[in-house]
A and B are shown apart, each in its own frame.
Chain A
Amino acid sequence: MALETRKPGTGRSPDVNRELAGLDALELAAGARRSPLSRLWSAVWPMLVAVAIALGAWELVVLSGWKEPWVLPGPRDVLPEFWNVVTDGRFWDAVGLTMQRAVIGFAVATAIGVLIGAVVSRSMILRRAFGSLITGLQTMPSIAWFPLAILLFQLSESAILFVVVLGAAPSIANGLITGVDYTPPILLRAGKVMGLRGLGLYRHLIIPASLPSFVAGLKQGWAFAWRSLMAGELLVIIGDTQSVGTLLHFARELSDTERMISVMIVILIIGILVDQLFALADRTLRNRWGLNTD
C-alpha cells in the first residue's frame, strides 16, 4: 500500500502523487452495474402485476353483479372493443387532433410560464405580490374557467387553448420560481467570486441550477394541461371535429359503454406515456448531477 510507505521527517514529496492516486482509487470504488435488460425487466414486471390486479378487481366488481353488464361491462367485453377502437384509422385521427391541441397548448403555456416565472423570480416584491396568486391559479380547477372561456371565445379552439394554457402555465412558472429561489447559496457565492453578474449569472448559474425544479414544473404543468384538455373536449364540441373528448361524449350518448371505457383506457395510457417521458428527463438530469443515491 502506498499509504504505508510514508516515512517520518522529510523526503515525503515523491510519495505524495502515489498516495493521492491511491486514496483516489480507494474512494472511487465503482458499484456493480446491472445489464439494461435486467433493469428494464425490473421496471416492467411491477407494472404488469399492477395491470393484472386492476383487471382482476374490475372483473370481480362486474361478477359481484353490482351493476347490470350493459352499464358496467367487464374486461372480457371491453378488451375486444378496445382492440377494434385502436385498429380504426379514424380513431387515430381523433387522437391526432387531441394531441395537437395538447402540444400547442403546452407549448404556449411553457412560453408564458417561463416568461412570468423569469420576471417574477427577479424581484422580491413581484414574488410577494404574485407568488400566492400564481399558486392560487395552480390549485384552481380548470373546469371553472370554461364558462368564461366560452363567453370570450364561443365554442372554438381558442376556448380550449385558453383553458389548457391557464391550467398549465402557473405550474410551469412556479417550477421556475422555485428553482431560482433554491439555487444553493454556496453556488451563488462561488459564482460571485468568479465575477458572474447580471445575464452571465443567469446563463451560467441560475438557469442551470433551477433546471431540476423547472422539469418538475413542466411535468406537473403537463398533467394540468392534459386534464384541462379532456374537460375542454367534453364541454366544447366544435362542429363535427373528432377528438378523444368527442369520442367519449358520443359513446356515452349512444350508451356504448365498451367503447367509452376503451377511450378512457387510451386517455390513461397517453397520460402514462407522457409522464414517463418527463420522468426519463428528470432521471437523466438527476443522474448527471449525482442527485440520485442509487
Chain B
Amino acid sequence: MSQATTATPSRTAAAVRLSGVSKAFGSGDTALLALDNVSLEVSPGEFVCLLGASGCGKSTLLNLVADLDKVTAGSIDVGGARVALMFQEPALFPWLTVTGNLELALRQRGVPRQERRARAAELLASVHLSGFEKKRPHQLSGGMRQRVALARALALTVDEDGDGGRGTVLLMDEPFGALDAMTRDLLHDEIERIWRERGLTVLFVTHNVREAVRLGDRVVLLSSRPGRVVEEFAVPMERPRRIDSTEVATLAATITDRLRAEVGRHGA
C-alpha cells in the first residue's frame, strides 16, 4: 500500500508533488481564496481520489496541475510527466468523427500523420469501442462518449514512439458524475483496468464518497472555502472492489461522517 502522504513522504520520487499550494481569484479585499496551503504527494502508479463538497477547489486544483492556471503561492511539480485532463462533460469536438477527435489529440502529441489512424484504433480498442471509428459524438451514448474522452486523454499521454503510460498523470474531474449508476459501475471497472495496464498515475476528483473508496488507493478529503487537506484515508481493500460491498460501504460511512462534520462548519 502506497502511503505517500505529506506526513510521511515516500522514498521514491513523487509523480505529482504539491507544496503549499494556494490559489486566490481576484485581488484585494474581494479576492476569493480557493485553495489554501495544500500539500500533497502522489506516487507513480498511485490512484488518489480527491473528495470534497462544493467549493473545495477540486477543479481548481486539477487546472493548476494541468497547467491551465497559475498558482498564487506554493509550487507544483509533475517531474516532466505528460498530463492529461478529463472532465465531467466529454467535450468531444462535434464536427469530428470519433477517430478524428483522437487523431487531433495524437497530432498535438507529435505523432506522425501516417501512424495516427492505427494509434487511434488501438486507443479505441482499449476502451472497447472498436467499430465506432466513423461515428460522430452525438451518435453515441453518454457512457460511450465518456470512454472516447478517456481514449482522447490517453492519446495525449502517448510517446511519439511507444504507447506511453508510465510517467503519465491522468487527471479526472468528476468524469462519471453525469452518468447513470450502471454505466458508472462499468466505467469504474474500465478505468481500473486501464490504470493497471498502463501504470498510470491518477488524480481523480469526485464528490461521491463510495466512488472514491471504490477506486482510490488513497482518499484525500478537502475542506471547502478555502480548500485545505483535512484528512487522508488509505483504502486497504483488495481490488477489484465492489461499490456495493460492505467493506466499501463501511469506510465510505466513516469518510462521509468526516465530510459532513466539515460541511457542517459552514452552516454554523
Binding site for B on A (CB under 8 A): 3, 8-10, 12-13, 16-17, 19-21, 23-24, 27-28, 186-187, 189-190, 192-196, 204-205, 208-209, 211, 288-291
Interface residues of B in 159-217 (CB under 8 A from A): 182-183, 186, 189-190, 193
Question: Most A CB atoms within 10 A — which of B66, B87, B105, B108?
Answer: B108
* A190 adjacent to B87 (CB under 8 Å): yes
Contact partners of A290 in chain B: CB under 8 A: 94, 136-139
Return the CB mask of B126-144 against A: 1 if under 8 Å, else 0.
0010000000111111111
Q: How far, in whole Å, are A3 and B181 apart by their CA atoms in the complex?
A: 13
Show the binding face of B for A, using Cβ within 8 Å. 66, 68, 84-85, 87, 89, 91-96, 104-105, 108, 128, 136-144, 156, 182-183, 186, 189-190, 193, 240, 242
Is A288 a contact of B68 with CB atoms below 8 Å?
A: no
A13 to B193, CA, bound (A): 9
Nearest chain A residue, comparing its CB with the CB of B239: A10
Is A289's CB under 8 angstroms from B136's CB? Answer: yes
Where chain A touches its partner, the secondary structure class is helix
Given contacts A9-B242, A16-B189, contact A190 B91 (CB under 8 A): yes
Known contacts A193-B66, A194-B156, A288-B95: does B128 contact A21 (CB below 8 Å)?
Answer: yes
Q: Once the chains are docked, how many angstroms separate the CA of A290 from the CA of B96?
A: 11
Whole-angstrom CA separation of A189 from B68 in the bound complex: 8
Can you list 15 A-B pairs, Cβ within 8 angstroms, ordered by A?
A10-B240, A12-B189, A19-B186, A23-B182, A23-B183, A23-B186, A24-B141, A28-B139, A189-B68, A192-B68, A193-B85, A208-B93, A288-B95, A289-B95, A289-B138
What are the 9 tightest A-B residue pairs by CB atom distance, in nearest-first order? Answer: A290-B138, A27-B141, A190-B91, A289-B94, A208-B95, A194-B108, A193-B85, A186-B91, A195-B108
Query: Which A residue's beta carbon lies closest to that of B139?
Result: A290
Q: Is the CB of A20 within 8 A of B186?
A: yes
Chain A residue with Cβ nearest B189: A16
Q: Which A residues are CB-close (under 8 A) to B94?
A: 289-291
For the complex, give the distance between the alpha carbons of A209 and B92 in Å. 11
Give chain A nearest CB distance to B128 CB in angstroms: 5
Q: A21-B128, A23-B143 are in contact. Are A193 and B84 (CB under 8 A)?
A: yes
Residues of A within 8 A of B128 (CB): 16-17, 20-21
Listed residue (A9, A13, A190, A211) with the most chain B CB atoms within 10 angstroms of its CB? A190
Contact of A187 among B93, B186, B190 (CB under 8 A): B93
Among A9, A27, A194, point to the contact of B105 (Cβ < 8 A). Answer: A194
A185 nearest CB neighbor, chain B only: B91
Chain B residue with minimal CB distance to A19? B186
Q: Give, as a whole number of angstroms, the nearest-CB distance from B123 to chain A.
A: 14
